[in-house]
Structure 1
Amino acid sequence: MQKLMIVLAAVIAAAIGVASYQLWPKAEPEALVYQPPRAPAPFQLQSTESPDAINNQALKGQWTLLFTGYTFCPDICPTTMSDLKNALPNLQQHTDTPVKVWMISVDPKRDSMERLKEYTGYFGDAFVGIRAEHPQLFPFVRDLGLMYSVPEEGEENYLVNHSAAIILVNPDGNRIAIFNADHQAGKIPVVDMEQLKRDFAIIAG
Protein backbone atom coordinates (compact mmCIF):
# COMPACT_ATOMS: atom_id res chain seq x y z
CA MET A 1 0.00 0.00 0.00
CA GLN A 2 2.82 2.37 0.92
CA LYS A 3 4.57 1.68 -2.40
CA LEU A 4 1.32 2.37 -4.26
CA MET A 5 0.95 5.71 -2.47
CA ILE A 6 4.52 6.65 -3.38
CA VAL A 7 3.91 5.80 -7.05
CA LEU A 8 0.64 7.78 -7.08
CA ALA A 9 2.37 10.75 -5.47
CA ALA A 10 5.12 10.64 -8.10
CA VAL A 11 2.56 10.47 -10.94
CA ILE A 12 0.60 13.40 -9.52
CA ALA A 13 3.77 15.45 -9.06
CA ALA A 14 4.81 14.75 -12.65
CA ALA A 15 1.36 15.72 -13.94
CA ILE A 16 1.46 18.98 -11.98
CA GLY A 17 4.93 19.69 -13.35
CA VAL A 18 3.82 19.16 -16.95
CA ALA A 19 0.70 21.29 -16.44
CA SER A 20 2.73 24.08 -14.83
CA TYR A 21 5.22 24.04 -17.71
CA GLN A 22 2.44 24.25 -20.30
CA LEU A 23 0.68 27.07 -18.45
CA TRP A 24 3.87 29.02 -17.73
CA PRO A 25 4.09 32.01 -20.07
CA LYS A 26 6.67 31.38 -22.78
CA ALA A 27 9.27 34.02 -23.64
CA GLU A 28 8.37 36.13 -26.66
CA PRO A 29 10.90 37.84 -28.96
CA GLU A 30 11.21 41.61 -28.70
CA ALA A 31 11.90 41.86 -32.42
CA LEU A 32 9.13 42.15 -35.00
CA VAL A 33 8.39 38.55 -36.00
CA TYR A 34 6.63 37.89 -39.28
CA GLN A 35 3.65 35.57 -38.96
CA PRO A 36 3.73 33.76 -41.25
CA PRO A 37 7.34 34.13 -42.48
CA ARG A 38 7.58 36.03 -45.76
CA ALA A 39 9.28 34.76 -48.89
CA PRO A 40 11.54 37.35 -50.56
CA ALA A 41 10.64 38.37 -54.08
CA PRO A 42 12.73 36.56 -56.75
CA PHE A 43 16.21 38.08 -57.08
CA GLN A 44 19.48 37.73 -58.99
CA LEU A 45 22.54 39.06 -57.16
CA GLN A 46 26.30 38.71 -57.04
CA SER A 47 27.91 37.00 -54.06
CA THR A 48 31.46 36.70 -52.78
CA GLU A 49 30.66 33.01 -52.21
CA SER A 50 29.86 32.18 -55.82
CA PRO A 51 31.32 32.97 -59.25
CA ASP A 52 27.80 32.79 -60.68
CA ALA A 53 24.74 34.90 -59.91
CA ILE A 54 22.75 33.72 -56.91
CA ASN A 55 18.99 33.61 -56.37
CA ASN A 56 16.54 32.76 -53.58
CA GLN A 57 17.96 29.25 -53.26
CA ALA A 58 21.14 30.73 -51.74
CA LEU A 59 19.19 31.62 -48.59
CA LYS A 60 18.02 28.07 -47.93
CA GLY A 61 19.65 25.59 -45.55
CA GLN A 62 21.01 28.24 -43.18
CA TRP A 63 20.00 31.05 -40.87
CA THR A 64 20.95 34.34 -42.54
CA LEU A 65 21.29 37.81 -41.03
CA LEU A 66 20.97 40.46 -43.76
CA PHE A 67 21.82 44.12 -43.47
CA THR A 68 22.66 46.95 -45.84
CA GLY A 69 26.09 48.54 -45.77
CA TYR A 70 29.15 49.49 -47.80
CA THR A 71 32.89 49.25 -47.41
CA PHE A 72 33.46 53.03 -47.23
CA CYS A 73 30.92 53.34 -44.38
CA PRO A 74 32.62 55.14 -41.48
CA ASP A 75 30.55 53.98 -38.51
CA ILE A 76 27.38 51.86 -38.65
CA CYS A 77 28.76 49.12 -40.93
CA PRO A 78 32.07 48.32 -39.24
CA THR A 79 30.38 48.50 -35.84
CA THR A 80 27.58 46.15 -36.92
CA MET A 81 30.02 43.75 -38.56
CA SER A 82 32.18 43.61 -35.43
CA ASP A 83 29.15 43.17 -33.19
CA LEU A 84 27.85 40.31 -35.36
CA LYS A 85 31.26 38.64 -35.42
CA ASN A 86 31.27 38.64 -31.62
CA ALA A 87 27.65 37.43 -31.45
CA LEU A 88 27.92 34.57 -33.97
CA PRO A 89 29.41 31.95 -31.60
CA ASN A 90 26.49 32.53 -29.23
CA LEU A 91 23.92 32.30 -32.04
CA GLN A 92 25.46 29.10 -33.37
CA GLN A 93 25.01 27.45 -29.96
CA HIS A 94 21.24 27.51 -30.48
CA THR A 95 21.12 25.71 -33.82
CA ASP A 96 22.80 22.91 -35.73
CA THR A 97 22.20 24.85 -38.95
CA PRO A 98 24.92 27.27 -40.13
CA VAL A 99 24.43 30.96 -39.30
CA LYS A 100 25.67 33.41 -41.93
CA VAL A 101 25.74 37.16 -42.41
CA TRP A 102 24.99 38.86 -45.71
CA MET A 103 26.30 42.40 -46.03
CA ILE A 104 24.34 43.84 -48.94
CA SER A 105 26.42 46.61 -50.49
CA VAL A 106 24.41 49.72 -51.28
CA ASP A 107 27.41 51.30 -53.03
CA PRO A 108 27.88 49.24 -56.22
CA LYS A 109 29.86 52.05 -57.85
CA ARG A 110 32.79 51.68 -55.43
CA ASP A 111 32.24 48.21 -53.98
CA SER A 112 33.66 45.76 -56.51
CA MET A 113 33.45 42.05 -55.81
CA GLU A 114 37.16 42.04 -55.02
CA ARG A 115 36.79 44.85 -52.50
CA LEU A 116 33.73 43.22 -50.93
CA LYS A 117 35.49 39.88 -50.64
CA GLU A 118 38.46 41.47 -48.89
CA TYR A 119 36.20 43.46 -46.56
CA THR A 120 33.88 40.62 -45.51
CA GLY A 121 36.75 38.13 -45.37
CA TYR A 122 38.31 40.16 -42.59
CA PHE A 123 35.38 39.23 -40.34
CA GLY A 124 35.38 35.50 -41.10
CA ASP A 125 34.03 32.76 -43.34
CA ALA A 126 30.44 33.27 -42.13
CA PHE A 127 30.36 36.74 -43.71
CA VAL A 128 29.21 37.09 -47.31
CA GLY A 129 29.35 40.19 -49.50
CA ILE A 130 26.35 40.79 -51.77
CA ARG A 131 26.13 43.32 -54.59
CA ALA A 132 24.16 44.27 -57.69
CA GLU A 133 23.64 47.34 -59.81
CA HIS A 134 20.88 49.69 -58.68
CA PRO A 135 18.16 48.36 -61.05
CA GLN A 136 18.41 44.94 -59.36
CA LEU A 137 19.60 46.12 -55.95
CA PHE A 138 16.96 48.72 -55.10
CA PRO A 139 13.91 46.41 -55.55
CA PHE A 140 15.64 43.70 -53.50
CA VAL A 141 16.43 46.07 -50.62
CA ARG A 142 12.97 47.64 -50.73
CA ASP A 143 11.31 44.21 -50.68
CA LEU A 144 13.21 43.45 -47.45
CA GLY A 145 11.67 46.55 -45.88
CA LEU A 146 14.98 48.44 -45.92
CA MET A 147 16.18 51.55 -47.77
CA TYR A 148 19.23 53.40 -49.02
CA SER A 149 20.02 56.61 -50.87
CA VAL A 150 21.53 56.78 -54.35
CA PRO A 151 24.29 59.43 -54.75
CA GLU A 152 24.02 62.12 -57.39
CA GLU A 153 25.53 61.37 -60.79
CA GLY A 154 29.21 62.31 -60.85
CA GLU A 155 29.74 62.35 -57.09
CA GLU A 156 33.02 60.73 -56.02
CA ASN A 157 33.37 61.19 -52.26
CA TYR A 158 29.99 60.57 -50.71
CA LEU A 159 28.16 58.87 -47.85
CA VAL A 160 25.26 56.51 -48.46
CA ASN A 161 22.32 56.81 -46.11
CA HIS A 162 20.92 53.35 -45.41
CA SER A 163 18.91 51.30 -42.93
CA ALA A 164 20.70 49.99 -39.86
CA ALA A 165 18.16 47.22 -39.20
CA ILE A 166 19.01 43.52 -39.52
CA ILE A 167 16.71 41.00 -41.21
CA LEU A 168 16.64 37.36 -40.06
CA VAL A 169 15.91 34.74 -42.72
CA ASN A 170 15.11 31.17 -41.66
CA PRO A 171 16.52 27.97 -43.25
CA ASP A 172 13.49 27.81 -45.56
CA GLY A 173 14.69 31.06 -47.11
CA ASN A 174 11.88 33.19 -45.66
CA ARG A 175 12.08 36.40 -43.68
CA ILE A 176 11.08 35.63 -40.11
CA ALA A 177 12.09 38.71 -38.08
CA ILE A 178 13.50 42.22 -38.26
CA PHE A 179 15.75 43.75 -35.60
CA ASN A 180 15.48 47.52 -35.69
CA ALA A 181 18.37 49.74 -34.70
CA ASP A 182 18.40 51.50 -31.36
CA HIS A 183 18.41 55.24 -32.05
CA GLN A 184 19.86 57.30 -29.20
CA ALA A 185 21.01 60.90 -29.35
CA GLY A 186 24.75 61.17 -29.89
CA LYS A 187 25.20 57.43 -30.55
CA ILE A 188 25.58 55.33 -33.70
CA PRO A 189 22.23 53.67 -34.53
CA VAL A 190 22.96 49.96 -34.28
CA VAL A 191 21.00 46.85 -33.34
CA ASP A 192 21.08 45.77 -29.69
CA MET A 193 23.09 42.53 -29.94
CA GLU A 194 22.00 41.27 -26.53
CA GLN A 195 18.38 41.50 -27.64
CA LEU A 196 19.27 39.85 -30.96
CA LYS A 197 20.94 36.94 -29.16
CA ARG A 198 17.98 36.47 -26.80
CA ASP A 199 15.47 36.62 -29.63
CA PHE A 200 17.44 34.29 -31.88
CA ALA A 201 17.52 31.68 -29.12
CA ILE A 202 13.71 31.86 -28.90
CA ILE A 203 13.08 31.87 -32.66
CA ALA A 204 15.60 29.16 -33.55
CA GLY A 205 14.85 27.01 -30.50
Structure 2
Amino acid sequence: MTSIQKTVFVLIACVALVLGLTVNKVLNGKGEADPAELLDAGIVMLQKSRSMPALQLTDQEGQPQRLDELKGKWTLVFFGYTFCPDICPTTLAELRQLHGDLPAEAREQLRVVMVSVDPHRDTPAQLKQYLGYFDAGFIGLTGEPAQIQEAANALGIPYIPGDSSQENYTVDHSGNLALLDPSGEQRGFIRSPLRVQKLQAQLAQLLTRP
Protein backbone atom coordinates (compact mmCIF):
# COMPACT_ATOMS: atom_id res chain seq x y z
CA MET A 1 0.00 0.00 0.00
CA THR A 2 1.45 3.37 -1.02
CA SER A 3 1.70 6.35 1.35
CA ILE A 4 -1.13 8.08 -0.52
CA GLN A 5 -3.34 5.02 -0.17
CA LYS A 6 -2.52 4.81 3.53
CA THR A 7 -3.44 8.47 3.98
CA VAL A 8 -6.72 8.01 2.15
CA PHE A 9 -7.47 4.90 4.21
CA VAL A 10 -6.84 6.76 7.48
CA LEU A 11 -9.05 9.65 6.39
CA ILE A 12 -11.86 7.30 5.41
CA ALA A 13 -11.57 5.48 8.74
CA CYS A 14 -11.72 8.77 10.64
CA VAL A 15 -14.76 9.94 8.71
CA ALA A 16 -16.48 6.61 9.30
CA LEU A 17 -15.74 6.83 13.02
CA VAL A 18 -17.15 10.34 13.28
CA LEU A 19 -20.25 9.42 11.30
CA GLY A 20 -20.73 6.29 13.38
CA LEU A 21 -20.55 8.24 16.65
CA THR A 22 -22.92 10.86 15.30
CA VAL A 23 -25.48 8.30 14.16
CA ASN A 24 -25.19 6.45 17.46
CA LYS A 25 -25.72 9.69 19.36
CA VAL A 26 -28.84 10.49 17.35
CA LEU A 27 -30.29 7.01 17.49
CA ASN A 28 -29.75 6.72 21.22
CA GLY A 29 -30.86 10.23 22.09
CA LYS A 30 -27.48 11.15 23.55
CA GLY A 31 -28.13 14.89 23.33
CA GLU A 32 -28.08 15.11 27.10
CA ALA A 33 -25.22 16.57 29.10
CA ASP A 34 -22.48 14.44 30.59
CA PRO A 35 -23.69 13.36 34.07
CA ALA A 36 -20.15 13.75 35.42
CA GLU A 37 -20.00 17.36 34.23
CA LEU A 38 -23.43 18.05 35.72
CA LEU A 39 -22.34 16.60 39.06
CA ASP A 40 -19.15 18.62 38.97
CA ALA A 41 -21.32 21.73 38.64
CA GLY A 42 -23.47 20.58 41.57
CA ILE A 43 -26.44 19.48 39.45
CA VAL A 44 -28.03 16.16 40.44
CA MET A 45 -30.65 14.93 37.97
CA LEU A 46 -33.41 12.60 39.15
CA GLN A 47 -33.88 9.29 37.38
CA LYS A 48 -37.61 9.99 37.32
CA SER A 49 -39.18 13.44 37.39
CA ARG A 50 -41.58 14.39 40.19
CA SER A 51 -44.97 16.03 39.80
CA MET A 52 -45.71 19.02 42.01
CA PRO A 53 -48.71 19.18 44.37
CA ALA A 54 -51.54 21.61 43.60
CA LEU A 55 -50.61 23.91 46.48
CA GLN A 56 -51.82 27.49 46.21
CA LEU A 57 -49.32 29.92 47.69
CA THR A 58 -49.16 33.73 47.51
CA ASP A 59 -46.55 35.64 45.52
CA GLN A 60 -44.81 38.92 46.36
CA GLU A 61 -47.60 40.86 44.65
CA GLY A 62 -50.23 39.25 46.83
CA GLN A 63 -51.47 37.12 43.93
CA PRO A 64 -52.20 33.38 44.13
CA GLN A 65 -49.61 31.07 42.61
CA ARG A 66 -50.06 27.32 42.45
CA LEU A 67 -46.91 25.29 42.84
CA ASP A 68 -47.92 22.92 40.04
CA GLU A 69 -48.37 25.83 37.62
CA LEU A 70 -44.75 26.95 37.51
CA LYS A 71 -44.52 26.01 33.85
CA GLY A 72 -43.24 27.39 30.57
CA LYS A 73 -39.67 27.93 31.80
CA TRP A 74 -37.04 26.15 33.82
CA THR A 75 -37.36 27.13 37.49
CA LEU A 76 -34.88 27.21 40.35
CA VAL A 77 -36.70 26.95 43.69
CA PHE A 78 -34.92 28.09 46.84
CA PHE A 79 -36.37 27.75 50.34
CA GLY A 80 -35.25 30.68 52.49
CA TYR A 81 -36.43 33.72 54.43
CA THR A 82 -35.83 37.45 54.51
CA PHE A 83 -34.42 37.59 58.06
CA CYS A 84 -31.80 34.94 57.29
CA PRO A 85 -28.35 36.14 58.40
CA ASP A 86 -26.14 34.13 56.07
CA ILE A 87 -27.29 31.42 53.63
CA CYS A 88 -30.07 33.40 51.97
CA PRO A 89 -28.30 36.66 51.12
CA THR A 90 -25.28 34.71 49.89
CA THR A 91 -27.37 32.35 47.75
CA LEU A 92 -29.52 35.12 46.29
CA ALA A 93 -26.44 37.17 45.41
CA GLU A 94 -24.98 34.12 43.66
CA LEU A 95 -28.26 33.52 41.83
CA ARG A 96 -28.27 37.14 40.71
CA GLN A 97 -24.75 36.68 39.34
CA LEU A 98 -25.67 33.35 37.73
CA HIS A 99 -28.82 34.76 36.13
CA GLY A 100 -27.03 37.84 34.86
CA ASP A 101 -24.10 35.91 33.38
CA LEU A 102 -26.24 33.46 31.39
CA PRO A 103 -26.52 34.08 27.63
CA ALA A 104 -29.70 36.01 26.79
CA GLU A 105 -31.37 32.95 25.24
CA ALA A 106 -30.81 30.86 28.37
CA ARG A 107 -31.70 33.72 30.73
CA GLU A 108 -35.12 34.03 29.12
CA GLN A 109 -35.77 30.36 29.88
CA LEU A 110 -35.07 30.60 33.61
CA ARG A 111 -37.02 31.90 36.60
CA VAL A 112 -35.87 32.05 40.21
CA VAL A 113 -38.36 31.43 43.02
CA MET A 114 -37.80 31.77 46.75
CA VAL A 115 -40.36 30.02 48.97
CA SER A 116 -40.37 31.48 52.47
CA VAL A 117 -39.77 29.11 55.36
CA ASP A 118 -40.74 31.96 57.70
CA PRO A 119 -44.34 32.81 56.73
CA HIS A 120 -44.91 34.37 60.16
CA ARG A 121 -42.73 37.36 59.20
CA ASP A 122 -42.47 37.09 55.41
CA THR A 123 -45.51 38.91 54.08
CA PRO A 124 -45.79 39.47 50.32
CA ALA A 125 -44.66 43.09 50.81
CA GLN A 126 -41.63 41.97 52.83
CA LEU A 127 -40.67 39.43 50.15
CA LYS A 128 -41.03 42.00 47.38
CA GLN A 129 -38.81 44.52 49.12
CA TYR A 130 -36.18 41.93 50.04
CA LEU A 131 -35.95 40.23 46.65
CA GLY A 132 -35.81 43.64 44.98
CA TYR A 133 -32.37 44.13 46.54
CA PHE A 134 -31.12 41.21 44.47
CA ASP A 135 -33.24 41.01 41.31
CA ALA A 136 -36.69 42.51 40.75
CA GLY A 137 -37.48 39.55 38.52
CA PHE A 138 -37.09 36.99 41.30
CA ILE A 139 -40.40 35.57 42.57
CA GLY A 140 -41.21 35.20 46.25
CA LEU A 141 -43.86 32.81 47.60
CA THR A 142 -45.36 32.54 51.05
CA GLY A 143 -48.35 30.80 52.61
CA GLU A 144 -49.57 28.93 55.64
CA PRO A 145 -46.91 26.95 57.56
CA ALA A 146 -48.53 23.63 56.66
CA GLN A 147 -48.46 24.56 52.96
CA ILE A 148 -44.80 25.54 53.09
CA GLN A 149 -43.93 22.28 54.84
CA GLU A 150 -45.84 20.29 52.22
CA ALA A 151 -44.06 22.13 49.42
CA ALA A 152 -40.66 21.48 51.00
CA ASN A 153 -41.44 17.80 51.47
CA ALA A 154 -42.63 17.49 47.85
CA LEU A 155 -39.39 19.00 46.55
CA GLY A 156 -37.12 17.18 49.01
CA ILE A 157 -35.71 20.38 50.53
CA PRO A 158 -35.75 20.05 54.35
CA TYR A 159 -36.05 22.79 56.95
CA ILE A 160 -36.93 23.11 60.64
CA PRO A 161 -39.54 25.78 61.45
CA GLY A 162 -38.31 28.51 63.79
CA ASP A 163 -39.82 29.28 67.19
CA SER A 164 -41.80 32.41 66.41
CA SER A 165 -42.40 33.02 70.11
CA GLN A 166 -38.72 33.97 70.46
CA GLU A 167 -37.37 37.36 69.47
CA ASN A 168 -35.05 37.36 66.44
CA TYR A 169 -35.50 33.63 65.90
CA THR A 170 -33.78 31.86 63.02
CA VAL A 171 -34.88 28.99 60.77
CA ASP A 172 -32.63 26.03 60.00
CA HIS A 173 -32.91 25.26 56.29
CA SER A 174 -31.03 23.77 53.37
CA GLY A 175 -29.22 25.88 50.78
CA ASN A 176 -29.98 23.36 48.02
CA LEU A 177 -32.16 24.35 45.08
CA ALA A 178 -34.86 22.33 43.34
CA LEU A 179 -34.79 22.31 39.54
CA LEU A 180 -38.13 22.24 37.70
CA ASP A 181 -38.45 21.79 33.95
CA PRO A 182 -40.84 23.72 31.65
CA SER A 183 -43.55 21.10 32.21
CA GLY A 184 -43.55 22.03 35.90
CA GLU A 185 -42.04 18.76 37.12
CA GLN A 186 -38.97 18.46 39.29
CA ARG A 187 -35.99 17.20 37.33
CA GLY A 188 -33.29 17.47 39.94
CA PHE A 189 -31.40 19.42 42.59
CA ILE A 190 -28.57 21.91 42.66
CA ARG A 191 -26.34 21.37 45.66
CA SER A 192 -25.11 24.10 47.97
CA PRO A 193 -22.72 25.89 48.01
CA LEU A 194 -23.28 27.04 44.43
CA ARG A 195 -20.41 26.69 41.97
CA VAL A 196 -21.48 29.69 39.95
CA GLN A 197 -19.11 29.49 36.98
CA LYS A 198 -19.48 25.73 36.41
CA LEU A 199 -23.22 25.99 37.04
CA GLN A 200 -23.55 28.79 34.52
CA ALA A 201 -21.83 26.72 31.82
CA GLN A 202 -24.00 23.64 32.39
CA LEU A 203 -27.27 25.54 32.76
CA ALA A 204 -26.60 27.49 29.57
CA GLN A 205 -26.63 24.18 27.70
CA LEU A 206 -29.48 22.61 29.63
CA LEU A 207 -31.84 25.57 29.27
CA THR A 208 -31.39 25.89 25.52
CA ARG A 209 -31.36 22.20 24.63
CA PRO A 210 -34.21 21.25 22.23
Q: Secondary structure at the match of 1:109?
A: coil
Task: Tell me if 1:33 matches 2:60.
Answer: no
Query: For 1:121 and 1:58, how far apart are their aligned partners in 2?
Result: 23
Q: Give the deviation of 1:17 after TM superposition.
A: 2.5
Question: Using a 3 Å threshold, how does the CA distance of structure 1 residues 96 and 90 change in structure 2: closer, same or farther?
Answer: closer
Structure 2 residue aligned with 1:193, among 185, 192, 196?
196
Comparing 111-120 with 121-130, greater Cα deviation is found at 121-130
TM-score (norm: length of structure 1): 0.80
Q: Give the deviation of 1:76 after TM superposition.
A: 0.7
AA in 2 matched with 1:27:
D
Identity %, equivalent residues: 31
Summarize the alignment of residues 16-95 of structure 1 with structure 2, pairs less than 5 Å apart: 16-21=17-22, 27-28=34-35, 29-30=38-39, 31-48=43-60, 50-93=61-104, 95=106
Which has the larger helix fraction?
Answer: 2
Question: Using a 3 Å threshold, how does the CA distance of structure 1 residues 90 and 160 change in structure 2: closer, same or farther?
Answer: same
Q: Give the deviation of 1:92 after TM superposition.
A: 4.6
Counterpart for residue 140 of structure 2? 129
Query: For 1:91 and 1:142, how far apart are their aligned partners in 2?
Result: 30
Contact 2:80 2:88 in 1 (8 A): yes
TM-score (norm: length of structure 2): 0.78
| Residue segments in structure 1 that go unaligned for 5+ positions in a row | 1-8, 182-189
Query: For 1:33 and 1:110, how far apart are their aligned partners in 2?
Result: 33
AA in 2 matched with 1:203:
L
| Residue segments in structure 2 that go unaligned for 5+ positions in a row | 1-9
Comparing 79-88 with 30-39, greater Cα deviation is found at 30-39
Task: Tell me if 1:108 matches 2:115.
Answer: no
